[in-house]
Amino acid sequence: MQPTLQNGAFPIVDAAPQSAARAVPAAERKPLFGMEAAALAEVAAEFGGARYRAQQLEHALYRQWVGSLDEIATLPLRFREQLAEAGYSVGLPEIKETYRSVDGTERYLIAGLDGQTVETVWMPGGDGAETTIEGAEGTSDAGDTGPADTRVAGARGSDTRGADSRGTSAPQRRATICVSSQIGCAVNCQFCLTAKMGIVRNLSAGEIAGQVVAVLKRQGVHLGRDRINLVFMGMGEPFLNYDAWIAAFRLLTGPVQLQPSRMTVSTSGIVPGIVRFAQEPVRPRLAISLNASNDTVREAVMPITRKWNTEAVIDAVRAVPLGPREKITFEYVLLGGVNDQLQHADEVIALVRGAGFPAYVNLIVWNPGPDVPYAQPEQTAVDAFQKRLIARGVTAYIRRPRGRDIYAACGQLKRTTT
Ligand code: SAH
Ligand code: SF4
């Protein structure tokens, strides 16, 4: 049965897909999704398969987005059976539930093989990274959204045409996908709902990249035509799961063929992670969650500041080599009465100017959540804050909240099911 999309925070449970590995309990299956080319070559070699078998597998996983071994028509039936008997499965994470916002944003609960779910958000029309870098002052991040995408319902289901299906005359679609890197988070920022979960576990590279592919497939995206941005800004701290995160990034920019320049990773300021990031030959854009204008306020709202203070974070960022027009983003969540006054704006201006690298500020109006003891800032304070930054030559945008009604907005991701 095909699920139907509905407005509002209403979960839509998918039918369980069939798989060649039916006989093996899910938790014992060995997922192929997440393996890079060398690992797939080893798997093929296990069964005496030639190198091109590994390439066929890679193509099926990362370009065709197959959901089961049965769908890999290029592989001989016997080879597929051998894979299944040995416990291998495709292992593409499954979308278990979908919540759709009135603004067109969709939030998904996506399950790995152990059944644990993680959150991923689809924001149609969004063009966060680009509007913020090239646009004029104003709103940013998924900012120029028109009406909700009406073609979503038709694009859903078990269609596996994936990236290889070209030549469609449909207009180009734009969207931003917000990706999680961990289940929960250990960083404990006081204003963030994900923090309330604590850290449950790290996600694997396959689970991180798999969120993206599961959503591309669900949305019927055509990569040759559509403009897809990724932001690693979902649940968790990417730089506390660095190895898996960078492996996922390599899959997404390698065989999945997404553009690194359309991706942004956000960190709360994990200095060893920033140091490693600075040495990557290929990397996404970088966003730093600043969220306070001095260390005293930052320690109160982000206790991680005691480990790496603002100066240490900015110092580490100085080592990141930037492209010709690239800028660092400073995210700044405005908390009513805590960090939203003009004196704070002046401190932010001094920080950004003193940083010595090109940067701009993304102001985020705090999204409320149960048991989080903060207040939303007054609209006048938000406007005055942005005006002050711009007047002193610091580029500043206000990030429009997306999907608040379905708990999909920044800092609201905590596997809410109602
Ligand atoms: N852990 C990473 C990335 C995920 S959080 C990080 O902290 O950077 C993504 C962004 O959402 C961060 O900039 C964070 O400061 C912001 N955020 C967290 N909780 C929020 C809330 N309740 N309202 C608005 N923004 C929030
Ligand atoms: Fe973790 Fe980011 Fe939330 Fe802080 S803001 S608790 S680092 S997810």
Domain assignment present for residue 25? The answer is no
Q: Which of 58, 97, 119, 207 is catalytic?
A: 119
Last residue of a domain, one of 61, 89, 117: 89
Pocket of ligand 2 contains residue 237 by CB under 6 Å: yes
Asked whether residue 385 falls in the same domain as residue 240, the answer is: yes
Say how many Å lie between the CA of residue 335 and the centre of ligand 1. Answer: 12
Asked whether residue 167 falls in the same domain as residue 275, the answer is: yes
Is 192 catalytic? The answer is no
Domain assignment present for residue 278? The answer is yes
pTM, full prediction: 0.87
Question: H or E element: which one contains 266?
Answer: strand 263-267
Say how many Å lie between the CA of residue 73 and the centre of ligand 2. Answer: 42
Q: Which of 178, 189, 192, 410 is catalytic?
A: 410
User: What is the residue whose two structure tokens read 């078990």?
Assistant: 158
What is the tens place of the pLDDT at every residue in 224-280?
Answer: 999 999 999 999 999 999 999 999 999 999 999 999 999 999 999 999 999 999 999
Say how many Å lie between the CA of residue 267 and the centre of ligand 2. Answer: 8
Domain assignment present for residue 1? The answer is no
Q: How far apart are CA 107 and CA 47, in angstroms?
A: 40
93 to 42, 106, 136: CA distances (angstroms): 22, 17, 38
Asked whether residue 115 falls in the same domain as residue 163, the answer is: yes
Asked whether residue 299 falls in the same domain as residue 228, the answer is: yes
219-237 burial: b if 16+ Cβ within 10 Å, else e: bbbbbeebbbbbbbbbbbb
Per this entry, what is the length of the chain? Answer: 418
Of the residues 188, 192, 242, 297, which should be mutated to test ligand 1's pocket, given the most ligand atoms within 8 Å of the CB? 192
Ligand nearest to the CA of 362: 1
Say how many Å lie between the CA of residue 15 and the centre of ligand 1. Answer: 33
- Angle at which helices 51-62 and 37-46 pack, to 10 degrees? 130
Q: How far apart are CA 185 and CA 202, in angstroms?
A: 9
Contact criterion met (CB below 8 Å) for 397 and 356: no
Asked whether residue 146 falls in the same domain as residue 133, the answer is: yes
Asked whether residue 71 falls in the same domain as residue 174, the answer is: no
Q: What is the pLDDT along the chain (418 residues), one digit of tens a residue?
A: 333 223 333 333 333 333 443 455 655 679 999 999 999 999 999 988 788 999 999 999 999 999 999 999 999 999 999 999 999 999 999 999 999 999 999 999 999 778 899 999 999 985 443 333 333 333 343 332 222 222 222 233 333 344 444 445 688 999 999 999 999 999 999 999 999 999 999 999 999 999 999 999 999 999 999 999 999 999 999 999 999 999 999 999 999 999 999 999 999 999 999 999 999 999 999 999 999 999 999 999 999 999 999 999 999 999 999 999 999 999 999 999 999 999 999 999 999 999 999 999 999 999 988 889 999 999 999 999 999 999 999 999 998 878 777 777 776 777 665 4
Asked whether residue 186 falls in the same domain as residue 59, the answer is: no
Asked whether residue 390 falls in the same domain as residue 280, the answer is: yes
What is the tens place of the pLDDT at every residue in 318-335?
Answer: 999 999 999 999 999 999
Q: What is the pLDDT of residue 409?
A: 72
Sign of CA dihedral 25, 26, 27, 29: positive
Pocket of ligand 2 contains residue 413 by CB under 6 Å: no
Q: What is the pLDDT of residue 230?
A: 98
For 142: left if phi > 0, alpha if psi spans -120 to 50, otherwise beta; the answer is left
Domain assignment present for residue 289? The answer is yes
Asked whether residue 181 falls in the same domain as residue 58, the answer is: no
Q: How far apart are CA 218 and CA 367, in angstroms?
A: 27
Asked whether residue 107 falls in the same domain as residue 38, the answer is: no
Q: How far apart are CA 187 and CA 247, in angstroms?
A: 22
Asked whether residue 79 falls in the same domain as residue 210, the answer is: no
Domain assignment present for residue 20? The answer is no
Domain assignment present for residue 24? The answer is no
Domain CATH for 36: 1.10.150.530
| Cα angle value 140/305/229 (rounded, 5°) | 25
Our count of domains for the chain comes to 2
Domain CATH for 197: 3.20.20.70
- The ligand 1 atom nearest the CA atom of 236: 1
Domain assignment present for residue 205? The answer is yes
Pocket of ligand 2 contains residue 83 by CB under 6 Å: no
Last residue of a domain, one of 89, 117, 135: 89
Residues 6+ apart with CB under 8 A from 333: 191, 289, 291, 339, 364, 365, 366, 410, 411
Pocket of ligand 1 contains residue 213 by CB under 6 Å: no
Last residue of a domain, one of 89, 116, 138: 89
Asked whether residue 255 falls in the same domain as residue 194, the answer is: yes
Q: What is the pLDDT of residue 140?
A: 40
Domain assignment present for residue 11? The answer is no
Write out the residue range of the structural domain in which residue 239 sits. Answer: 94-406
